[in-house]
Structure 1
């Protein structure tokens, strides 16, 4: 099972690298969208520090949503998904591999770019470390929840819009506690509670999201 998981992940990773635009688009959107806020809000550093965590997390959430629509579409269009269903391989393994590749190509770059945006908002070093940690805990949750939404809307018209309607409400707790952890540091409060909740959400989605996505795939393909 582990060899099949790694083979599926490696296959999707190779296929994704053949479409570099899909890889760079979320990262570019993340950086550009977050950079626009200081221009609109103004150069007041105290204001930028207060809104920085929330702005970065909102941009990270929207950037993650950009690549969800294509998560299963190519395999569905060329018949690969049907072959995977008939092969007897675990659909839970397939969904987990898809979510892992999505996070490696979309979420992990956001974790790397996040500290640079923290400097843009004049955050303290402790706040930047906290921001990076929240992104590291929270972005996998976004990818896992997004895989469920992508599976539910597979083959439907306007699937991209439907994914947003399904996934965004589920991601609100991640947004609240991710931004709240950074805000807590800025006011001198240790963010252990926020980080604990993010960790709990990660464990919950790791256990529950792949089986839910697998069940949705069976319904969508049937």
Structure 2
């Protein structure tokens, strides 16, 4: 069962958190307060996070399997259509969702590109190993979960070529100091510049922690 909370009124907007976060992260940073003024906002916990923490089978941590957390939420809510915004890991699940689910109207990605992690295989393997070492050192299960997520992400082929990109339906928000920026710029500037919003002087973490950099543009995108 996917744990979730709902706020506000209007069309549904589902928010998918990043790695090492949980559904409350959206509340604590102020996203929910602003977004619930124009949408019914639903926040939930991905597998291995928040109320779903614990020892998790690696097979449940692939990108398609994590997308099922969103599918379960949609079913529980009984909604026919919705918008989705995800940060980092949550955005990757959103890309997979958008490539398959016809109920999704608008997709917003914070700090993540739609390409395959294979494009950054060395970095993902390094992060997976680093998380495993932290797990071995601290004995904390969540680090092993994060290690598995990095490893399993490498099996995902990406959604760049699967999504039918439209200016009014898809938006990628990325800080220019984000480690993902160069690859995202390369992918999106080929054909989809209008779907790419660059945040000057902003890094990956602050793209999420400081909504003021993009919230007005995001609300405008949702209402257009």
Per the shorter chain, which TM-score range?
under 0.3
Query: TM-score, structure 1 length as denominator?
Result: 0.26
Q: TM-score, normalised by structure 2?
A: 0.26
Pick the structure with more helix per residue: 1
Higher share of residues assigned strand: 2
Relative contact order, CA 8 A, sep 6+: which one is greater? 1
Higher gyration radius (CA) = 1
